[in-house]
Amino acid sequence: MSVVKLTDLSKSYTMASSEVTVLQNLNLDVQSGDRTAIIGPSGSGKTTLLLILTGLETATSGDISMAGKSLSGMSADDRADLRREHIGIVFQSFHLIPSLTARENVALPLEIAGLGNSRDRAMQMLDKVGLSSRYDHYPAQLSGGEQQRVAMARALVNEPSLIVADEPTGNLDEKTGELIMELLFDLNRDSGTTLVLVTHDNELAMRCDRTLKLHDGSLHDQSGGHKLAAVP
């Protein structure tokens, strides 16, 4: 089953007088339970692609469908509902709410969804990302890697069927990065959670089913390359 499908997708940003084309005739089909790594140099459009994939940003042309439903004709509210229900997003900049503690930040999606037990579930999730002793810290009182882990806990607490993460291990030391990787791959294995990960981390990419490189506005499968390289 297709979780997200992008068809002939293009995205340009219009600046004062010039137009910057970031994505061009891009196609992507993410199947349920898939683990997809997206790589590409800085500025190649990876974050833009994730924003479009999650319905946070609109495309210039092309079609996006989520769980078989086209986003094109959908209102911003309906897109937000779909997102809240199915997708956990970890941004490159963490978007934590500065006036809320780590626990309150993580509990927020549960409260918005009207789910009970949000305080306990938030603490359990913070335990899983190794932040048991940071429940009551505000984002400004946390290190970059700790903020990233709070953002990860917030994305996972709702048990989304699709997790989209922009460099989830980017700010973490090796051991903490490993912890986060295990968490993501455990969810994939145990709950069939679909993963779309933007990463510069080769090890993370190699653990995925396929690696797609963003280049000249579209995606190119690199996994074949890995496999060929492994054959003597």
Ligand X SMILES: Nc1ncnc2c1ncn2[C@@H]1O[C@H](COP(=O)(O)OP(=O)(O)OP(=O)(O)O)[C@@H](O)[C@H]1O
**Closer to ligand X at the Cβ: 45 or 177?**
45
Phi (first) and psi of residue 179, to 5 degrees: -60, -45
**Closer to Mg ion at the Cβ: 10 or 92?**
92
Name which of residues 125 to 144 contact ligand X (CB under 6 A): none
Answer for which of 8, 13, 97, 182 binds ligand X (CB under 6 A) is 13
CB of 51 to ligand X, least distance (A): 8
- Please provide the size of the chain in residues: 232
**CA nearest 126: which of 110, 82, 112?**
110
Coil, strand, or helix at residue 141?
helix
- The site that binds ligand X (CB under 6 A) totals a number of residues, namely 13
CB of 201 to ligand X, least distance (A): 12
Strands 218-221 and 210-215: antiparallel
Strands 61-66 and 69-70: antiparallel
CB of 11 to ligand X, least distance (A): 8
Q: Does 169 bind ligand X (CB under 6 A)?
A: no
Q: Does 95 bind ligand X (CB under 6 A)?
A: no
* Sign of the Cα pseudo-torsion (88, 89, 90, 96, in order): negative
Contacting residues toward ligand X, per CB under 6 A? 13, 15, 20, 22, 40, 42-48, 92
